[in-house]
Amino acid sequence: MLRHLPILLILVTPGYCMFRPQSPKQQCVDPKAYFSVDENQSRQSYNEENDEFFHVEENLEVSQNQLIQRDMVQESNGNCEEGWKNFKRPSGKWCMKIFYEDSITQSTAEQRCQAQGATLSGLQNQLESLYVTYTVSTHIYPSTGSIWVGLKRQTSCEKVGLTRNCTWATSFLWTDNSATGTHGLGWACNQPDNARNRSQNCATLTASYTGSVLGSQTALLDDVSCDFDYVKMDRKDRDIKAYICGKKPKA
Question: What's the one-letter identity of residue 10?
Answer: I
The CA R_g of the chain, rounded to the nearest whole Å, is 19
Query: Measured between alpha carbons, how far is 83 from 97 in angstroms, rounded to an integer?
Result: 7
Using CA atoms, how far residue 102 sits from 76, 140, 160, 237, 250, in Å, is: 32, 11, 29, 11, 30
What values do phi and psi take at 196, rounded to 5? 55, 65
Residue bearing the bigger pLDDT, 116 or 76 = 116
Asked if residue 229 has pLDDT above 90, the reply is no
Residue 62: count of CB within 10 angstroms of its CB: 10
Predicted local distance difference test score (pLDDT) of residue 113: 99
29-33, 182-186, 212-216: range with lowest mean pLDDT: 29-33
Closest CA to 148 of 87, 212, 238, 83: 238
For the cut 50, the answer to whether the pLDDT of residue 15 exceeds it is no
pLDDT tens for 34-77 read 333 333 443 344 344 434 322 333 333 334 444 334 443 445 67
pTM over 0.75: no
**Per residue in 66-109, pLDDT tens?**
433 444 344 567 789 999 999 999 999 999 999 999 999 999 99
Q: Write down the architecture of domain 5-42+91-247 according to CATH.
A: Roll (3.10)
pLDDT at 49: 40
Q: What is the mean pLDDT of residues 150-168?
A: 95
Q: Say yes or no to pLDDT of 27 above 60.
A: no
Which residue ranges make up each domain of the chain? 5-42+91-247
pLDDT at res. 76 = 62
Least confident interval from 120-129, 215-224, 226-235? 226-235
Distance between CA atoms of 157 and 201, rounded to whole angstroms?
9
CB of 46 closer than 8 Å to CB of 131: no
**Least confident stretch, 76-85, 116-125, 130-139, 159-168:** 76-85
Looking at per-residue pLDDT, the higher value among 5 and 207 belongs to 207
- As a whole number of angstroms, the distance between CA 149 and CA 133 comes to 11
pLDDT score for 75: 52
Diameter over CA atoms, the chain: 63
CA distance 159 to 32: 32
Closest C-alpha to 188, from 150, 146, 226? 146
> pLDDT value at position 226?
95
The predicted structure's pLDDT at residue 228? 82
* d(C-alpha 5, C-alpha 45), whole Å: 9
